[in-house]
Amino acid sequence: MSIRFEPGRVWCFDDLEPGTIALDGAVQGPQLDPEHRRYSFDHHGQCLRLVTTATCQQVLDALLVGLDPTGMRVLVNDLDGDTILAIWLLRHHRRWRNRTSLAKVRPLVWAVGGADAHGPAYPSQDPAKLDHFHSAILAHCRQAEGADLDAYEQLDRTLSALEEWWRQHLKTPAVTVASPPLPSIQKFSGWILAEYPAAVAGVRGRPASEALYKLGHDRIVTAVPIEGGRYRYLLAKRSDLVDRFPLQSLYSELTAAEQAKRTDSQDDSSHWGGGSSVGGGPRPEGSVLQPDEVAEILERVIQAEDGKTQ
């Protein structure tokens, strides 16, 4: 089995050569062509994400019902946890015919797949495994990036760490994680603004949103001050089933306000954006908009959208 990695590339399924597996967005949408041994295991495009399992879950199910990846080419466009776990499952495909091995790996696949498909709001049946996978196993990929290794070396290091964890029976070490200080929370019309102090500027993304979801909030904005008087923002809702938080409209209005206030840039570095359930402000330098300005824009857009539906 060979790996072809091209960051960000999306292939057309009809153009794939026989004997090809595309993973997690390398081709948009799940597709099967057993006659030519062409498969796309994806849950991002041309599917209903709520009911389409993550790539690692699709791969394990395919292996259990007859897929043999021997000699095939695997297309990858991003080295995230879902993709890396799927590659590892494919690489050791014969292992999962053993019922004991299958029983041992399923909790990991379902923990990683559930979080990847539905986001940090999704309750994990094995949070310890999920946390260890993200903090310890995927750390090898991040460390490799810092060492200026190419993508294939990063992948090999991470897969080796995952295989070593397997040899340790996927045991999760007992660790004590200090809880970050609670943010200052302001409640608005169905959403909250959580402002964190600069001392915890690393609080963002999954850890921040997960903590706020656990508190019962469905629509969240986090604001963390960074250098230069700017802020790093996250906008998120528990899932696409949550209404009254129109992220695409919010991104557009926030980008317009960002560009109107800036004097240094009108390029992509001033754009707000993201997906249908999570996104945020400009990266990596942050947004010049202050939290009260962001709140005013969100309230205006949400109330305008509410008026259209009445």
- Decide: 6 and 152 in contact? Cβ < 8 Å: no
- Cβ partners under 8 Å of residue 190, min gap 6: 218, 219, 244, 245, 302
For the record, the structure tokens of 64 come out as 């259990």
Q: For 53-62, what is the mean pLDDT?
A: 97
- Check if the beta carbon of residue 90 is closer than 8 Å to that of residue 63: yes
Q: How many CB atoms lie within 10 A of CB 293?
A: 16
Judge if pTM exceeds 0.95.
no
Give me the mean pLDDT over the 21-46 stretch.
Answer: 96
- Percentage of the chain lying above the pLDDT 90 cut: 67
3-state secondary structure of 290: coil
Place of tokens 């629509």: 219
Tell me: cis bond preceding 284? Omega within 30 of 0 counts.
yes
Contacts of 27 (CB under 8 A, 6+ apart): 10, 11, 12, 13, 16, 40, 42, 75
Which pLDDT band holds residue 204 (cuts at 50, 70, 90)?
A: very low
pLDDT at 285: 83
Instruction: Report which of residues 285 and 20 the model is more confident about.
Output: 20
Mean pLDDT of 293-298: 98
How does 72-110 read in b/e, with b if 16+ C-beta sit within 10 Å? bbbbbbbbbbbbbbbbbbbebbeebeeeeeeeebebbbb
pLDDT exceeds cutoff 50 at 163: yes
The band of 20, judged by pLDDT with boundaries at 50, 70 and 90, is very high
223 touches 194 (CB < 8 A): yes
- The answer, yes or no, to whether residue 57 has pLDDT greater than 90, is yes
pLDDT digits (tens, 9 = 90+) for 107-123: 999 999 999 988 888 88
> How many angstroms separate the CA atoms of 81 and 46, rounded?
22
pLDDT on residue 202: 47
CATH number of this structure's domain 184-309, picked from the four choices 3.40.50.1820, 3.20.20.70, 3.10.310.40, 3.30.365.10: 3.10.310.40
Cα 302 to chain centroid distance, Å, stands at 25
DSSP-derived secondary structure for 156-201: HHHHHHHHHHHHTTT-------PPPPPPEEEE-SS-EEEEPPGGGT
Across 97-111, 114-128, 198-212, the highest mean pLDDT is recorded for 97-111
pLDDT of residue 199: 55
Query: At residue 201, does pLDDT exceed 50?
Result: no
Segment holding 143, helix H or strand E: helix 139-146
Q: What is the pLDDT of residue 268?
A: 54
Distance separating alpha carbons of residues 127 and 238, to the nearest angstrom = 18
CB 247 within 8 A of CB 272: no
Residue 145 has pLDDT above 70, yes or no: no
For 35, list phi and psi in degrees, rounded to 5.
-60, -40
Give the whole-angstrom CA distance, residue 70 versus residue 82.
21
CA 260, 266, 272: angle at the middle one, nearest 5?
75
Q: Where in the chain is the domain with CATH 3.10.310.40?
A: 184-309
Q: Report the candidate in 204, 189, 219 with the shortest Cα–Cα distance to residue 296.
A: 189
> Does residue 198 have a pLDDT over 90?
no
